[in-house]
Homo-oligomer: A and B are copies of this chain.
Amino acid sequence: MEPTPHILVVDDEREIREPLAKYLVKNGLRASIAAGGVDARKEIKTSAIDLVVLDIMMPGEDGLSLCRHLRETTDIPVILLTAMAEDTDRVVGLEIGADDYLTKPFNPRELLARIKAVLRRARSVPRPREAMEGERLRFGGWVLDMNRRELIGNDGVAAPLSTAEFKLLAVFLQRPGIVLSREQLLDLTSGRGAEVFDRAIDNQVSRLRRKVEADPKNPVLVKTVWGGGYMFTAEVEQVS
Quick check: is A210 within 8 A (CB to CB) of the other chain? no
Quick check: is A38 within 8 A (CB to CB) of the other chain? no
Quick check: is A179 within 8 A (CB to CB) of the other chain? yes
Residues of B within 8 A of A149 (CB): 223, 231, 233
* Stretch in contact with the other chain, from A22-30, A121-129, A201-209: A121-129
Q: Give the nearest-CB partner of A221 in chain B.
A: B148
Quick check: is A16 within 8 A (CB to CB) of the other chain? no
Residues of B within 8 A of A162 (CB): 226
How far is A178 from B162 in the complex, measured between Cα atoms in Å? 17
CB distance from A56 to the nearest CB of B (A): 15
Contact A87 B110 (CB under 8 A): yes
CB distance from A51 to the nearest CB of B (A): 13
CB distance from A71 to the nearest CB of B (A): 10
Residues of B within 8 A of A110 (CB): 87, 90-91, 94
If A95-B117, A164-B226 touch, does A220 touch B125 (CB 8 Å cutoff)?
no
**A to B CB contacts below 8 Å, 30 in the list:** A75-B124, A87-B109, A87-B110, A91-B109, A91-B110, A94-B117, A95-B116, A97-B117, A98-B117, A99-B117, A100-B100, A121-B121, A124-B125, A125-B126, A126-B126, A126-B175, A126-B178, A126-B179, A147-B177, A147-B233, A148-B223, A148-B233, A148-B234, A149-B231, A149-B233, A160-B218, A162-B226, A163-B225, A163-B228, A164-B226
Residue-wise, chain A 70-91 has the 8 Å CB interface mask toward B (1 for contact) of 0000010000000000010011
Quick check: is A196 within 8 A (CB to CB) of the other chain? no
Q: Give the nearest-CB partner of A95 in chain B.
A: B113
Quick check: is A107 within 8 A (CB to CB) of the other chain? yes
Which residues of A are at the interface with B, using a C-beta cutoff of 8 A? 75, 87, 90-91, 94-95, 97-100, 107, 109-110, 113-114, 116-117, 120-121, 124-126, 128, 131, 147-149, 160, 162-164, 175, 177-179, 218, 220, 223-228, 231, 233-234
Residues of B within 8 A of A75 (CB): 124
Contact B95 A227 (CB under 8 A): no
Contact A220 B148 (CB under 8 A): yes
Residues of B within 8 A of A128 (CB): 177
CB distance from A147 to the nearest CB of B (A): 6
Q: Give the nearest-CB partner of A122 in chain B.
A: B121
Q: Give the nearest-CB partner of A92 in chain B.
A: B113
